Structure 1
Amino acid sequence: MDIELLVIPNEVTFVGIPLALIFSVLCPGLHNEQQTLRNFSLVGISRPDTAIASALGMLVGGGLIFLCSVLGKWIFRKDAMGFGDVKLMGMVGGIVGWKLAVAIFFVAPFFGLFMGIPVLLFKKTHLIPYGPFLSLATLVCIFFQDYFLGIINVYIQLLTVVFTGFHS
């Protein structure tokens, strides 16, 4: 629907966001692989921990897109990204966790380039639906999650060394 009308229906995200939280509680191993709360665990990997991990994924996923929307509006003086994309990434982040949400955020623009460049060159409108690219990036990151989690973990280790290594 986003491809034709540039709209992500609220019925998808308003149902998907609570389902992401419920799914994370029913399947406590969902966020296990990412060790999202490794240093902040209530009682080991438990249902409250995975609900918190899911909520954190929602905040990071939706927050990154929201930040792009705000910055885009400030820079271009018009809407750069719809709020449907924010809700979609919040939902996705709740399911896949914050680390894969970050990976999806960085992978989706590469898919967008394939459609974006021809649209900019040959069409009168410069509006490009972003939801399909977020969805495609989500599938790719889920299928290759070990690879993408490895990259994110390397960056986390690098940032940890940079920000804590200079104080020792």
Structure 2
Amino acid sequence: MFIVFPIIIAITGLLLGSVLNRFALHWTDRPVLASPLMGLATALLFGLAAFQLGMQKELAAALFFISILIIVVQTDLSELIIPNKVVLIGVAGAILLRLWSHPLPLWNYGIAAIAGSGFLLLIGIAGGKLLKKEAMGGGDIKLYVFIGLVLGIKLTLLSIFLASAAALAIGILQLMLRVYQNGRTIPFGPYIAVGAITAYFWGDRFIEAYLSLLSQGVGNG
């Protein structure tokens, strides 16, 4: 049953991937990810969630979290938009799920929603003044209300760091390969999704490892 359950959930994700793709098509006429690829990504993430969480209430939150982010990646890559309706559905669903399953105190998720979106807003304002153009889309900022409600304060802030690091790494790679186009708007939604999902599954271990290394460094010093 330990292996069978994740496989069943992964198959469910494979089938649901096509549904999520169709849902994303409401906001874009040019899907950048083929339906089979969407299904495969959803299946892998669903299977991972089931493998890590098992038959816990938190699994419902994880699967909903993945589903919303899969849609966001699709729409942002294709049309540079994160639809308000998708974010609203995500926020409403996250609130209901967190009332049902909340490993952290409820106030933690509420503060995370405000802090995450607020921090991204500050980055957008600072970046806009520095670059003399919009540096952070409103959809990205609103999306972090949803992400905060799912992750809590600690993992939300970590996800912002991971998303920024991923965007920076890809940007440097594009410059090295000379494929970067000056003035082209780069969607941040996919990086947010990568950072948020990574933080959800492995964030606590990442933070523990970092604090352990930091304490060893202080001890040796």
Q: TM-score, length-normalised on structure 2? A: 0.56
Match of 2:189 in 1: 131
**Distance across 2 between alignment mates of 1:88 and 1:146:** 22
Cα distance, 1:125 vs structure 2: 3.5
State the identity %: 27
**Distance across 2 between alignment mates of 1:69 and 1:14:** 21
1:88 paired with 2:143, answer yes
- Tell me which of 158, 165, 184 is aligned to 1:103: 158
SS at match of 1:144: helix
Match of 2:98 in 1: 24
Structure with more contact order per residue of length (Cα contacts < 8 Å, sep ≥ 6): 1
Q: Contact (CA 8 Å) 1:103, 1:141: kept in 2 or not?
A: yes
Give per-residue Cα distances to partners, 1:16-59, cap 9 Å, x unaligned: 11222221111132x2xxxxxxxxxxxxxxxxx41x22211101
1:62 paired with 2:117, answer yes
Q: Contact (CA 8 Å) 2:94, 2:146: kept in 1 or not?
A: yes
1:144 paired with 2:199, answer no
RMSD, aligned α-carbons: 2.5
Give per-residue Cα distances to partners, 1:119-164, cap 9 Å, x unaligned: 7943244311000001011111112122234268x4xxx9xxxxxx
Larger radius of gyration: 2
Deviant stretches of 4+, over 2 Å: 113-117, 119-126, 148-152
Q: Contact (CA 8 Å) 1:21, 1:54: kept in 2 or not?
A: no
Pick closer, same or farther for the CA change 1:92–1:142 going to 2, 3 Å.
same
Flag structure 1 segments of 5+ consecutive residues without an equivalent: 32-48, 159-168
Pick closer, same or farther for the CA change 1:124–1:74 going to 2, 3 Å.
closer
Count residues in correspondence: 137
Flag structure 2 segments of 5+ consecutive residues without an equivalent: 1-74, 216-221
Q: TM-score, length-normalised on structure 1? A: 0.72
Match of 1:39 in 2: none
Pick closer, same or farther for the CA change 1:56–1:2 going to 2, 3 Å.
same
